[in-house]
Amino acid sequence: MELKDLTKAEEQIMQILWQLEKGFVKEVVDLLPEPKPAYNTVSTIIRILESKGFLGHEAFGKSHQYYPLISKEDYKRHATEKLLDGYFESSVESMFSFFVKEEKLDLSDVDEILKMINKIKNRPR
């Protein structure tokens, strides 16, 4: 299934529902930072997420409890591929170089990345 991109507001709500695993609109509103959006605004965004295939719901009378249908890992993979393809010509080296130049990585980060690379290289095939 082709994942759709999320707006910043949709992603913020998905982060909360991934954390909760399932929740009612009020629970999502409660976890949003101040200034909190109106209940109806959050409810509308949740319905949009449901129409995009990101959420499902279980009905309890008139209220609905929502739960993610897309895992955070799957969306993370989608967002990373989009970032890599859209801004770094699909080059991990280019992206890594960008983060180093922007000083978003320090030497301990680079060291950890090198350890991960070596672990992958030394895996039995």
Of residues 72, 79, 93, 14, the one with CA closest to residue 46: 14
Are the C-beta atoms of 54 and 68 separated by less than 8 Å?
A: yes
Query: Which residues are paired to 107 by β-bridges?
Result: none
Q: How is residue 91 written in tokens?
A: 């080059």
pLDDT digits (tens, 9 = 90+) for 56-69: 999 999 999 999 99
- Can you give the pLDDT at residue 125? 64
Are the C-beta atoms of 10 and 46 separated by less than 8 Å?
A: no
Q: Where are the domains of the chain?
A: 8-68, 72-121
Q: What average pLDDT is seen over the chain?
A: 90
Hey, what CATH topology would domain 8-68 get? Answer: Arc Repressor Mutant, subunit A (1.10.10)
> Other CB atoms closer than 10 Å to residue 23's CB: what's the count?
19
pLDDT digits (tens, 9 = 90+) for 66-115: 999 999 999 998 888 888 888 888 888 888 888 888 887 777 887 888 88
Which helix (DSSP H) or strand (DSSP E) does residue 39 occupy?
helix 39-51
